[in-house]
A = this chain, B = another copy of it.
């Protein structure tokens, strides 16, 4: 059999390392398409001149573009037979990535836990994206619910890893080169608010909404070489519980991140991903909104930038004026994403 049927739960071994296909050189072409698909306006990623003025050699790629490219490679090996993408933790962007670099991904199986009904199991992986010299640019943990091929199959070794509730901001402090915050022009960046202007507990409604089309999420997901068939095969989707194509969860993250510019224009680089959950599905025709909360501020001893711990919540078909959120008995039904992350902001 020369086609890839994907791994089932019993095919994973605790501790094994999986080198994923296909390495990918990222280019200014990807940047343009990413801009067209999501509409980010962060100045550092948009303007080589702005980036150089504060100390970058040129504009780095949007961090979420890097994430999606690294993530996409894991799909054929990890989640082709997944029923659900359950969560993210311990994500860290190690350095900026520039056009012309080649990314590849390796995953280590760090946890396996069979479900009580023996039909499925949860696979925990730590995926690491590296450049062509093998230097890490991003790593993160993810766990997914994967089907078993044979419910009777025995699982050699189970283990549920202990994952940090949040990444220690001190471990993220060196992810950016030394920058000149004084040269960071807030008229050009689109907001006067610097690190000191944000405080824990502050909530921001990002106001704008984006309606998503089938062509958009398909183009995006193919750009990331993510092959999960639920995103592309409309005929097969008719027989699923949704009856239609499901949009890649990362598409929602990128939309929410782009929308968050309106209120967080200077949170210009992602540093870490503490936790993430795709609370509900998104479909073509739905409109995405977002709001954020500042969970924490961290001064990590850099003279140029500080870190904000942000929680960005995305909704579908409901503006975020009232900050739809988690309640005692679950989430507001409009919520589709709950993402907890660290971002750099100039001082």
Residues of A within 8 A of B (CB): 2-4, 19, 21-25, 27-33, 35-39, 41-43, 46-50, 59, 76, 100, 102, 104, 132, 187-191, 193, 197, 204-211, 213-216, 218-223, 225, 227, 229, 232-236, 245, 262-265, 285, 287, 317, 319
Contacts and interface: CB of A to CB of B under 8 A. Distances in A.
A16 to B, nearest CB: 13
B213 A232 contact: no
Contacts of A25: 46-49, 59
The quantity of this chain's copies bound in the complex is: 3
A229 B208 contact: yes
Given A21-B265, A210-B232, A216-B219, 12 more contacts: A2-B263, A4-B262, A21-B187, A25-B59, A27-B28, A38-B222, A39-B225, A41-B227, A47-B104, A208-B229, A209-B229, A215-B215
B32 A223 contact: yes
Residue among A2, A188, A232 with max Cβ neighbours from chain B (10 Å): A2
Contacts of A233: 208-211, 287
A192 B232 CA distance: 26
A187 B19 contact: yes
